[in-house]
Structure 1
Amino acid sequence: MNTVLEDRSSSPAWPRRRFLTALAAAGTAFPAAAQFRVDVSGVGARQIPIAIAPFRDEGALPTPVSGIVGADLARSGMFRVAGSPVALDERSVVAAADWRARGVDAVVAGSVTRMADGRLDIRFTLWDIVKGEQLVAQSKLVLAADLRLTAHRIADAIHEALTGERGVNATRIVYVVKAGKRYTLNVTDADGEGGQVALASPEPIISPAWSPDGRELAYVSFETQKAVVWVQDLITGSRRKLADFRGSNSAPAWSPDGRELAMTLTRDGISQLYAMPRAGGTPRRLTSSSAIDTEPVYAPDGRSIFFVSDRGGGPQVYRLPLDGGGPQRVTFTGGYNISPAVSPDGKLLAYISRQGDAFKLMTLDLAAGGVRTLTDTRDDESPSFAPNGKLIVYATRQQGRDVLMTTTLDGSFKTRLVSSGADMREPAWGPFER
């Protein structure tokens, strides 16, 4: 949770949550393999029925390509995925009338061939049964280590061909895992699989944020016994302190052009917003108030910053124009609204709202003002939009564990990311590949 709200647990307006920096400052199943499980709740509207045949000779692989593709498409909420009752590959002749009789609108089939040098030749074809035509036919020669990424890219190609919108399966997410007294910062595929540990520490790690090019992560680490903002290069692994000023340094957020980061500092007393060049330097103060100003996030056009402030009494989301003018309040429904995230098109605000004694994921239409509750859970945290703006990843609690979920924008279709059983927190969805 990207927050540095000071501990005001003595006041009923500020219940004690897991504000770590505050304390420091003051369905579809693929049974062939367990990792393909997609735990689904709700029913997505206008789903496309699609059949995915096992790719010819994929049984020799440690990870079947068709299983990854099917799970990816199911997770989007836009497809109803089924298997194929007949064996197919990319060269098969598909009888559209037969598939229409089965209620299928699209069919995917392919093959995997291991080359003499160990590389994999992965081929697939997508047929549009409704139009009676072949939409996509591709061949990919890849290293065995890139099998999962290739499957995600196939799913994205299918997603875009059938919906006209870019898929996000080949993107990455970052999140924090807490296992016992150990914290790790994990960078994985968008389904929570694969990836790498960017940082491991016996001290808390919070507030990860992606650079716009996906090369670097900013985050807050308590490894020096205080909240410090670090930036880490994910290719080289090198890391540097960006903000280690007196007091607390927290809640980093990248500008859309990647040239600077907004963050919350208490160097001059109470939490206020500052901006710093990505290479470091002297902070530029953005807010000057007697209230707590925290959790900054840039609008996609870079012209304003959304943030949380208690200047009106309880925490609410405000917008600060960067070309002049004072902060403007954005959230008005409920007395406690935190953790803003803005959709890539700038039209929708996701945030966490206290509803009674529960904390719910909400969205606000920034133009029309409509508010929607997306969840029926009680401990939602840390929303982050997918780069195509069609899904939100967030943290919540299920059966006593912190887990990561994705939801469609109407809340009708949710999936739980694969978990090892450890607590998973603070998700942030990375950008498209560049």
Structure 2
Amino acid sequence: MKFSQTLLRWSAAAAFALSLPAAAQMRIEISGVGSTQIPIAIATFADENLAPQEVSAIIRADLTRSGYFKVVDAGQVINETASIDYAAWKARGVDAIAVGSVQKLADGRIVVRYKLLDTIKGTDVSSRNDAVSAPYTRAAAHRVADDIYEKLTGVRGAFSTRISYVTEGLVNGVRKQMLMVADADGENATPALRSAEPIISPAWSPDGTKLAYASMESRKPVIYVQELTTGRKWVVANEKGNNSGPAWSPDGKTLAVSLSRDGHYQVYLVNADGSGLRRLTNGSGIDTEGRFSPDGQTVYFASDRSGGAQIYKMPVSGGPAQRVTFNGPFNFSPRISPDGKTLAYVGQRDGSYNLYVMDLASGQETKLADNATEPSFSPNGRYIMYATGSGRKTLAVVSVDGRVKQSLSMQAASIKEPSWGPFLQ
């Protein structure tokens, strides 16, 4: 299959009707564990019945989903001021315990207090005190889980981040494409955009306040940027031919886009307000799916200049392109890890499309998942979300070492085009 045919196949798939109920909730199934699991007890927080959601249950679910913790239900209520019998918890094989309480203020706000304790050393590790409006109780719980994850693994937690994905459902009896925004665990899903036409390739701005995407509402792909808080949107690229594949620069000032204005796809750069369009690649074939490196100095892209699609890179300032992938007939959809050390991509091997990662220093390639498209790194670089399945699509998450896997699905529904948002400021 030629690269142009592959590109058209994925474009057609993006326009395919998926039949999603608008109010469907995401269901998560977990398989596999990290190479080392940290045993931790999560106590029931004192007075957490005062909050709209059970704080300790959200924390347990987050840490369990990560695959890096062996989570133990403490089986009792323990607040952050209680005296802890460290020896007893150590005897139960628990390395750390999280305790806390919930308070409801007169103005309706919810205060979540928490403390993390090291049972081996018998010392306090961390604590938080968050006052939030009641609807944001889940966010406060996610921040506690983030703190635990970071203090015990040394890597920043990403439970309080958000994801986006595209689906389709009936709205007042009319089938609409929907660009959804949700918590990283799939909860609190809300539509950012409804359209009668396909919405393709959403991408988060570095500050998490905007999404760029391509929409077919003008009967051809046009690239928009939309503010999530106001819903205001504007056109970034509406050139002759197709406009697709937006990707943000790390400073949020520039987008890499794929345009066919000159007859075949090439990678262009454009300012976030739609001004200053300039061409980056000058291949004789198809160059597409440009993605910035974390330092903003390099753009990775897929190109068929060597025959089948392969991944290349070139300086943002221009210059010769350098080939990066060499295994297999097709490699495309490049995504760079937040630390710039790992390349994720979709590769064809033996007729199937799979998710691979490459260590950029050594060039070593590792397969993480079968039947995968549209990868997206978590902001801490520990996980990759992707779309999978034929027919009814689901989302899945895999750790970069391949040990931890999650399946995110909706009953009788398909979801695709995932994009994992940045750390919230």
Give the structure-1-normalised TM-score: 0.90
Q: Which amino acid aligns with 2:387?
A: A
Which residue does 1:203 correspond to in 2? 197
**Aligned CA-pair RMSD:** 2.3
Which residue does 1:359 correspond to in 2? 353
**C-alpha distance 36-53 of structure 1, shift in aligned 2 (>3 A):** farther
Range with bigger deviation, 60-69 or 268-277: 60-69
Query: Which residue, 141, 162, 187 being the options, matches 1:172?
Result: 162
Q: Which amino acid aligns with 2:123?
A: E
Range with bigger deviation, 335-344 or 119-128: 119-128
Gaps of 5+ in 2: 17-23
Displacement of 1:420 in angstroms is 4.9
Q: In 1, Cα distance between the equivalents of 2:388 and 2:331?
A: 16
Q: Is contact 1:36-1:68 (8 Å) kept?
A: no
Q: Which amino acid aligns with 1:18?
A: W
Greater strand proportion: 2
Displacement of 1:350 in angstroms is 0.3
Which residue does 1:29 correspond to in 2? none
Displacement of 1:38 in angstroms is 4.4
Range with bigger deviation, 224-233 or 73-82: 73-82
* 1:259 equivalenced with 2:253 (yes/no): yes
Which residue does 2:306 correspond to in 1? 312
**Alpha-carbon deviations, 1:140-181, whole Å to 9, x = none?**
221101111111111111111212221111111111123374
| Counterpart secondary structure, 1:93 | coil
Structure 1 segments, 4+ long, off by >4 Å, are 21-24, 34-38
Range with bigger deviation, 112-121 or 293-302: 112-121
Which residue does 2:179 correspond to in 1? 185
* 1:151 equivalenced with 2:141 (yes/no): yes
Q: Which amino acid aligns with 2:32?
A: G
| Aligned counterparts, 1:208-287, within 5 A | 208-287=202-281
Q: Which amino acid aligns with 2:286?
A: I
* 1:118 equivalenced with 2:102 (yes/no): no
Range with bigger deviation, 75-84 or 86-95: 86-95
Q: In 1, Cα distance between the equivalents of 2:253 and 2:103?
A: 44
**C-alpha distance 330-193 of structure 1, shift in aligned 2 (>3 A):** same
**C-alpha distance 242-16 of structure 1, shift in aligned 2 (>3 A):** closer
Q: Is contact 2:27-2:410 (8 Å) kept?
A: no
| Counterpart secondary structure, 2:74 | coil
| Aligned counterparts, 1:30-49, within 5 A | 38-49=28-39
Q: Which amino acid aligns with 1:136?
A: S
Q: In 2, Cα distance between the equivalents of 1:144 and 1:307?
A: 44
Q: Which amino acid aligns with 1:116?
A: A
Q: In 2, Cα distance between the equivalents of 1:309 and 1:22?
A: 20
Query: Which residue, 344, 368, 388 being the options, matches 1:396?
Result: 388
* 1:414 equivalenced with 2:408 (yes/no): no
- How many residue pairs get matched? 413
Displacement of 1:419 in angstroms is 3.1
Displacement of 1:96 in angstroms is 1.7
Q: Is contact 1:270-1:292 (8 Å) kept?
A: yes
| Counterpart secondary structure, 1:146 | helix
Which residue does 2:418 correspond to in 1? 427
Q: Which amino acid aligns with 1:365?
A: D
* 1:63 equivalenced with 2:63 (yes/no): no
Tell me the percent identity: 47
Which residue does 1:384 correspond to in 2? 376
Q: In 1, Cα distance between the equivalents of 2:125 and 2:412?
A: 40
Range with bigger deviation, 323-332 or 176-185: 176-185
Displacement of 1:261 in angstroms is 0.8
Q: In 2, Cα distance between the equivalents of 1:409 and 1:310?
A: 27
Q: Is contact 1:5-1:19 (8 Å) kept?
A: no
Displacement of 1:16 in angstroms is 7.0
Displacement of 1:308 in angstroms is 0.4
| Counterpart secondary structure, 2:40 | strand
* 1:109 equivalenced with 2:113 (yes/no): no
Gaps of 5+ in 1: 9-13, 25-33
